[in-house]
Amino acid sequence: MHTTLAAPRRTSLVRETGFGYFPVALIARLPFAMMVVGILTLVVSARDSLALGGLTSAMTGLGTAIFGPLLGAAADRFGQRRVLLIAGLANSLLLVAIAWLAFATVPDAALLVVAFLIGASMPQVAPLSRSRLVGIVGRAFPTERRDAVVGGTMAYESAADEIVFVFGPVIVGLLATTMSPAAPVIGAAVLALVFVTAFALHPTAAAAAPAHGAAPKQAPARELVRPALLTTVIGALGMGLFFGAMLTSLTAFMAERGVPEQAGLVYGAMGIGSAALALGVALFPARFTLRARWVVFAAILVAGTLALPLAGSVGAITVCLLVIGVGIGPTLVTQYSLAAARSPLGRSATVMTMLGSAVVVGQSAASALTGFLAESAGAQAALIAPIAAAAVVLGAGIANVPLSRVRPRAPRG
């Protein structure tokens, strides 16, 4: 009588992390998606100054841009759990503080300082989730499967980002109109306290931490400025420039038609298509290489933006945004996949926060510049700004081609 051994179960990322990880990591991103718009809404309502509101939200972005990579480096050095718990608690308290200060008799400068500290303490959930999952893939999956699994993971992560950045502003609008202008900021504080804490305490955070009492093995910091890696950062900066330029110019376009509050709804058309295509990246054949994907989809992004200044109606601009969405999701997935593959040993959290901060820097800078252009020359002129931003993304993709001739190594965490 012959006995047959049961085949070993095929490893899956859901099995390695536990199913509960993904909803927790998704909701833990919402405070970041809510706070910039929420702070803008709060300050404009409380102080009756659009200029102060824009400056305050920009200070939030500046704080994140400066301190985001430092939080990533701290997570690589001390482990994600400790960094997230401290940042999440500080961020929640600061959000409650600005909700009170906005209506208090304090100087405007106090709001700017607190807004900067809010950005500086922002828990870097999305980059740290990417780093955490890439580390799990590197440990739990055989070498021949890692590239495919990392690609699918980056596809999911980019789609998750798109989802929260589409619905975050919607939640802000609902809370602000049905409750009070402070409600979105207080809601973000509660979400940060509960779900960032849950994300920090999840068992996968312990798996990503250095061994107890031992310094983590890390490549020299100079490896963070290698051309191949910096190209992905510049690409992410271009995506941030596009997001800021697109939303600001679209808001100006809708304001000229008397419905500025509908800008978020029209903008959502781009986000939904982008999220769907981001998930579809996992189905692309391996022969459609990462360097080729970046160039192809960035070219689609440029093509969609070139039609924006010619759009004379809301329907026409919505069609442009649908085309643009086809290019955004896959481009973001490709940039993060390349960054994961090129991360120096022991510095994946730093790299992921570098890309995330580059997006924030681009978004803040482009929002300010495009707003100035819209005020001085009108919405039609402002719609040229997304073209320039898309050109940066495509240029970085073209520069990446010769840097990708050598096959990237498997991610090492």
Following DSSP, what letter does each residue of 197-214 receive, concatenated? HHHHHSHHHHHHSPPTTS
Sort 4 into a burial class: Cβ within 10 Å, 0-12 / 13-18 / 19+. exposed
Domain count, the chain: 2
Q: Pull the structure tokens for residue 41.
A: 């809404």
Is residue 383 located within the same domain as residue 311? yes
Is residue 320 located within the same domain as residue 267? yes
Domain end position, chosen among 161, 191, 211:
211
Quick one: pLDDT at residue 392? 95
Is residue 253 located within the same domain as residue 302? yes
Find the CATH number of the domain harbouring 318. 1.20.1250.20
Is residue 129 located within the same domain as residue 190? yes
Is residue 124 located within the same domain as residue 246? no
Give a yes or no: residue 8 inside a domain: no
* Residues 12-55 pLDDT 10s: 767 767 778 888 888 888 887 777 777 777 877 787 776 677 67
Give a yes or no: residue 189 inside a domain: yes
Is residue 244 located within the same domain as residue 389? yes
226 contacts 342 by C-beta, under 8 angstroms: yes
Quick one: pLDDT at residue 11? 67
Give a yes or no: residue 12 inside a domain: no
Amino acid at site 85 = L
Q: Pull the structure tokens for residue 390.
A: 């898309």
Is residue 234 located within the same domain as residue 179? no
pLDDT below 70 — which residues of the chain? 1-11, 13, 16, 50-51, 54, 162, 165-166, 169-170, 173, 207-225, 259-264, 278, 282, 345-349, 404-413
Is residue 195 located within the same domain as residue 261? no
pTM comes to: 0.74
98 contacts 133 by C-beta, under 8 angstroms: no
Give a yes or no: residue 7 inside a domain: no
Q: Which domain holds residue 332?
A: 220-407
Quick one: pLDDT at residue 7? 43
Distance CA 334, CA 331 (A): 5
Is residue 114 located within the same domain as residue 82? yes
Give a yes or no: residue 2 inside a domain: no
Give a yes or no: residue 151 inside a domain: yes
Is residue 225 located within the same domain as residue 152? no
* Residues 123-157 pLDDT 10s: 888 888 877 887 777 777 777 777 777 777 777 77
- Which residue carries 């690409």 as its tokens? 235
Sort 140 into a burial class: Cβ within 10 Å, 0-12 / 13-18 / 19+. middle
Is residue 133 located within the same domain as residue 261? no
Is residue 157 located within the same domain as residue 228? no
Quick one: pLDDT at residue 405? 61
Quick one: pLDDT at residue 391? 95
How many degrees, rounded to 5, is the angle at CA 159 between CA 18 and CA 62? 105
Quick one: pLDDT at residue 208? 54
How many degrees, rounded to 5, is the angle at CA 187 between CA 184 and CA 189? 115
Quick one: pLDDT at residue 296? 92
Give a yes or no: residue 173 inside a domain: yes
- Which residue carries 């509101």 as its tokens? 53
Domain end position, chosen among 211, 234, 267:
211
Domain end position, chosen among 185, 211, 237:
211
Please state, as a whole number, how many other Cβ atoms lie within 10 Å of the Cβ of residue 39.
29
Give a yes or no: residue 308 inside a domain: yes
